[in-house]
Structure 1
Amino acid sequence: MTGTRGFLVRRLMTLLLLSAAVTAALFTAYYGVSRNTHAVRDESAPAILQVAAAEVALDDSYDGAERSLTGGTGDIEGLGEDYRTTLSTANQALAQALKSTTAGTSARQSLLTVTGLVSSYGDLIQQAYVNRDNAALRDAYLGYAETMLRGGDGSAARVRPGDSDILARLAKVQGKQLRLLDQQTSFGRLLTLAWWVLVPAAYLAAAVLLVRTQRFLRHRFRRRFNPALLVATGLLLLAVPTLAVLSYQTQDRLSQARTSLRQPNIGNAPDTTNKRVSTKMAETHWRTGAVAWIPMGGVLLAALVLVGLQPRIDEYRFRAR
């Protein structure tokens, strides 16, 4: 094997290895950003919004019942339309949250417990209505219902470690779901390492070596251009920055979705928030699909390198006599 042929074989192997390294690093980094877009839209957002809607509806249901029973309209209106509507909304939201919770088995068990407690809470409100003419009993039942709903101090505080009232249980479930959402939408250290170290290192090494190889071939073979290597260089220089931009845009929309789902009182308008999140995530659909382009691009890059160098290697093929 001549010196030139040996050099070209080694350069070919190095470029093929770098092509594989660029492809692997880029695929890992891009997939790491885009992998959770569907989960955020189809799983986390609905689960979080259903729990938030249940919290707001239950809180409002007590206020509606109290107004009806202490405002002098209980005999005419009963417990009132506001109470019945909000309690029905809460039960529907809990049923959906039970199906869609993303916080695992413990959260599902907590929601089952909450569903039973809500039934008991409704019974206490009903007893307050039955005893509406006896202020002492009415207020006692209302107090029991409020304690079951909001805790011993009757406040609407959501974070009370150790409390077992309905809203505290829902807050704990929501906390788990929001922590999962943070994991799904966080860029994280591994992705930072991939995008700021691994991808640039492999990308620059491959680009520099492709350019140097073309300069060597032009000098050694007296040909101005090597079309295949020129296309390979253009593919590399175009693809990596393009995918980096798409990855940034996907991450930006994930961050916007997280911000929307962490807004206070999202349970007041869950449909609006869900539409906003779905719209943002829909914008990532084709960007997420770009992950399939990366292996194909890697194969194309390697093929172009092979097509560009193999004929030059063959020119120095050694034949034994």
Structure 2
Amino acid sequence: MTGSTTRRDLLRLRAVLLVVTGLVVAASWFVVRDVHDRIGQVLARGAPAVLEATAAHAALAEADAFAIDAFDSGEAKLAGPGDRYQNRIAVASQSLTRVAEHNVAAAEGSRQIQLVEGLLVAYTGWIAQADAHYRQRSTLADVDLWYASRLVHAPGIGVLAELDQLARVQREALDRQLGESLAAPVWIGLLAVAALVLGVRLVLAQRYLRRRFRRRWNVPLLLGCGALLGLCAVVVFGVLAQYRAEVAAGELRGVTDAWAQRAAVAGDRGQRELRGLVTRTCERVCGETVDRFVAGLPAVPRVEAVAEHELTTRVKAVNERIAAADRMAGVEPLVPVAGVLVLVAVWSGFRPRLAEYRYEPR
């Protein structure tokens, strides 16, 4: 084998290693960067949007129950629907505003928010009208309260149903954020194959140089193999961060379901009071609509399965898990560092051997 042939082989082998290394590093960076960005979006917007939509649902259900209780107990004579009602309505309104700030469902989410805002204004208007009629000792107060509460609880079209839909579209958008990540198995599989090819190439280059130049070890190439393993470890950290974020998203669904159950208990309590109030007002014959409403109430009152403090603890835990996944995905800057180390190792490993053939054929 002539010197010029050996030099060409060395240049070709080095070029292949540099190109494959560049591709592996670029792909690794895109994967880890994508994971970090998506988890950051879930932490900053996706999870808050879902939680705030659920909080608005629970607050409105409780507000309606408090308003009904105020009218049924006679408290409304002194304080209208009451401070508890006002506080929960304020919470519902604030939560809805925060959903708008964190909205991840694009135009569909915005339309749903606008619809709920309009219905909420209509509801508070009915309650205010019921308060005015109640102070005038008019039976129209019960009618107003009935329409207000049915606006909230009407199956499929009430404010609570629309808030459920709002939470659903936010949750679906959050799931898409994580589900469309480059850390999907197919992309990670391709990246693993590319990294394996690079590793095999580095080992073969080591063997070639040892056989051709009678040198047992090429230290730079050995260091390059170590840097490649470090790069793979960084990508594994990114994949684990994706997995932890997906687990936290599953726990988030459990939290919102438990929260919705608490809201259902409050709503059930309010609707039972409304039944008693309305049936007393219309005496024996209340009409088909009221009869259907009464027949549709659960025979046995719902029981709260999750205490408020437990729910708060679970919400905090979910947020902490998402934040931990975001920190884990923050290894992104290590990708170019490991990549540069591999590139430098390849370049340095071939440089002394190429220097031995630095001449121009005549």
TM superposition score category, shorter chain reference: 0.7 to 0.9
Query: 2:123 pairs with 121, 124, 134, which one?
Result: 121
Instruction: Say whether the 8 Å CA contact 1:33–1:187 is kept in structure 2.
Output: no
1:280 aligns with 2:283: no
1:150 aligns with 2:165: no
* Cα distance in 1 between the residues matched to 2:181 and 2:230: 26
* Cα distance in 2 between the residues matched to 1:24 and 1:148: 55
Query: 1:42 pairs with 31, 41, 44, which one?
Result: 44
* Partner secondary structure for residue 283 of structure 1: helix
1:205 aligns with 2:208: no
Instruction: Say whether the 8 Å CA contact 1:46–1:274 is kept in structure 2.
Output: no
Partner in structure 1 of residue 349 of structure 2: 308
Instruction: Say whether the 8 Å CA contact 2:104–2:170 is kept in structure 1.
Output: yes
Report 1:95-134 matches (<5 A): 95-132=97-134
* Partner secondary structure for residue 131 of structure 1: helix
User: Which is worse superposed, 177-186 or 131-140?
Assistant: 131-140
Partner in structure 2 of residue 186 of structure 1: 179
Letter in 1 for 2:324: E
1:171-211, CA deviations, whole angstroms, 9 ceiling, x for partnerless residues? 23222211110012226687221112x21211111111111
Instruction: Say whether the 8 Å CA contact 1:260–1:277 is kept in structure 2.
Output: yes
TM-score, normalising length: structure 2: 0.77
Partner in structure 2 of residue 247 of structure 1: 238
Q: Which runs of 5+ in 1 are unaligned?
A: none
Instruction: Say whether the 8 Å CA contact 2:104–2:174 is kept in structure 1.
Output: no
* Cα distance in 1 between the residues matched to 2:213 and 2:11: 16
Alpha-carbon distance, 1:307 to partner: 0.8
Alpha-carbon distance, 1:285 to partner: 4.1
Alpha-carbon distance, 1:67 to partner: 1.7
Partner in structure 1 of residue 91 of structure 2: 89
Paired residue total = 309
Alpha-carbon distance, 1:308 to partner: 0.5
1:224-259, CA deviations, whole angstroms, 9 ceiling, x for partnerless residues? 21111110011112331x124312321122113312
Instruction: Say whether the 8 Å CA contact 2:242–2:325 is kept in structure 1.
Output: no
Query: 1:175 pairs with 124, 145, 168, which one?
Result: 168
* Partner secondary structure for residue 240 of structure 2: helix
Instruction: Say whether the 8 Å CA contact 1:29–1:191 is kept in structure 2.
Output: no
1:99-142, CA deviations, whole angstroms, 9 ceiling, x for partnerless residues? 33222244334323422332221121232233348684233112
Instruction: Say whether the 8 Å CA contact 1:25–1:194 is kept in structure 2.
Output: no
Letter in 2 for 1:71: S
* Cα distance in 1 between the residues matched to 2:36 and 2:130: 52
* Cα distance in 2 between the residues matched to 1:113 and 1:229: 63
Instruction: Say whether the 8 Å CA contact 2:21–2:198 is kept in structure 1.
Output: yes
Instruction: Say whether the 8 Å CA contact 2:22–2:339 is kept in structure 1.
Output: yes
Query: 1:138 pairs with 134, 137, 141, which one?
Result: 141
Q: Alpha carbon RMSD of aligned pairs, Å?
A: 2.5
Identity of aligned residues (%): 29
Q: Which runs of 5+ in 2 are unaligned?
A: 263-307
Instruction: Say whether the 8 Å CA contact 2:34–2:182 is kept in structure 1.
Output: no
Alpha-carbon distance, 1:293 to partner: 2.0
* Cα distance in 2 between the residues matched to 1:102 and 1:181: 7
TM-score, normalising length: structure 1: 0.86
Mark the CA change 1:166 to 1:295 in structure 2 (over 3 Å): closer, same or farther. Answer: same
* Cα distance in 1 between the residues matched to 2:102 and 2:13: 54
* Cα distance in 2 between the residues matched to 1:286 and 1:182: 20
Partner in structure 2 of residue 224 of structure 1: 216
1:54-83, CA deviations, whole angstroms, 9 ceiling, x for partnerless residues? 111111111111122123443355423332
Mark the CA change 1:190 to 1:246 in structure 2 (over 3 Å): closer, same or farther. Answer: closer
Instruction: Say whether the 8 Å CA contact 2:48–2:102 is kept in structure 1.
Output: yes
Alpha-carbon distance, 1:15 to partner: 0.8
Partner in structure 1 of residue 301 of structure 2: none
User: Which is worse superposed, 56-65 or 83-92?
Assistant: 83-92
